[in-house]
Amino acid sequence: MALKVDYVLKETGKNLVRNPWLTVATVLCVFVSIVLVGASLLTRQGMQNATLQWQGGVEFIVYMNPDATQDQIDAVQRSLDENPQVETYEFLDKDQVFERFRQLFERDSPELVETITPDVLPTQFDVKPTEANTDLVQALKQQFAEKPGVREVVAADEAIRTIERLSNLLSLGMVLIAVFLTVAALVLIGNTIQTAIFARRREIEVMKLVGATNWFIRVPFMLEGVIQGVLGSMLGIAGVYGLNWAFDRYFASEDAGLDLLANFTVASGDVFATAVLLLIGGVLIGAIASAVAVTFYVNV
């Protein structure tokens, strides 16, 4: 038998309204899991933005004056090479510093980025000491702050490290809960399909007798699961956008007074990319659960 679009849509609609509370429970389960996964992804991205300069074990940064001479830059580099307490360092020229500056401020202050050119920015050394020890970092900070041509030396604040650890724990916790809820959503979708098949068992038997194929019977049930996944993921995406807006509005704004969270934000492009991944995830949840259910319960 050839499939007809109107038949598939009509039968799918009947299945969705036949067990409304089970459908609502399934959609809500997918919704919560999608929100948690999305929040986890955005938290991780925000943490990367907030600690962009402090990744890879960097404990302090030596900022040179914008007009520092090459001899002064070379002298600081020799000191870093000769210092046994410095494990590694990376020199960033003006173009590299501008690229990092753009990543940090393009989202919230695009007009500032437009007014700044690479030539007015200082070069810098990102330094990783042999030990992430507060006393050692402070001693090195004072030592290099006195070098000619150095504008300032900034060390990683312990609060940044604490937030990074808490962020990782929070992300892990949300992912674990999301995995549990995703499994629950798969079970609920499978149970919904099973219930719909049981309610129409006589009709399905008649369809088999007149020559209906597996796919002719299965497609409306599979589409039901996909629709549940899509509805749940769309609600979840709306929730993720709402959480991102609330964070920007109430926590990362200047009025909030939380300077440390000022860069803990996610660009709209990253939020959109996350939303696309979440939508695909919701579709896959519905498709996989419904495909397994109909394969198990519908056989010609």
pLDDT tens for 164-217 read 677 778 778 877 887 887 787 777 777 777 776 776 667 666 666 666 666 666
* 109-118, 240-249, 251-260: range with highest mean pLDDT: 240-249
Residue 1 has pLDDT above 60, yes or no: no
Q: Contact, 89 vs 126, CB < 8 A?
A: yes
What CA–CA distance (Å, rounded) separates 8 from 297?
18
3-state secondary structure of 154: strand
* pLDDT at site 77: 92
User: What's the full length of the chain, in residues?
Assistant: 300
**Percent of residues, the chain, with pLDDT higher than 70:** 72
Give domain limits for the chain.
Answer: 5-51+160-297, 59-155
Q: Contact, 12 vs 227, CB < 8 A?
A: yes
Residue 132 has pLDDT above 50, yes or no: yes
What CA–CA distance (Å, rounded) separates 226 from 169?
32
pTM: 0.60
**Tokens at residue 93, please?**
């020229």
Q: What is the average pLDDT value for the chain, to the nearest integer?
A: 77
Fold of the 59-155 domain: Alpha-Beta Plaits (3.30.70)
* pLDDT at site 10: 73
Q: Contact, 224 vs 196, CB < 8 A?
A: yes
CA-to-CA dists, residue 18 to 13, 102, 224, angstroms: 9, 54, 11
* pLDDT at site 300: 46
- End-to-end Cα, the chain, rounded Å: 13
Residue 258 has pLDDT above 50, yes or no: no
What CA–CA distance (Å, rounded) separates 194 from 248?
43
Residue at 99: amino acid letter: E
> What pLDDT digit, counting tens, does each position of 54-85 carry?
666 677 889 998 888 999 999 999 999 999 99
**Strand 124-129 and strand 60-64: pairing?**
antiparallel
* pLDDT at site 214: 65
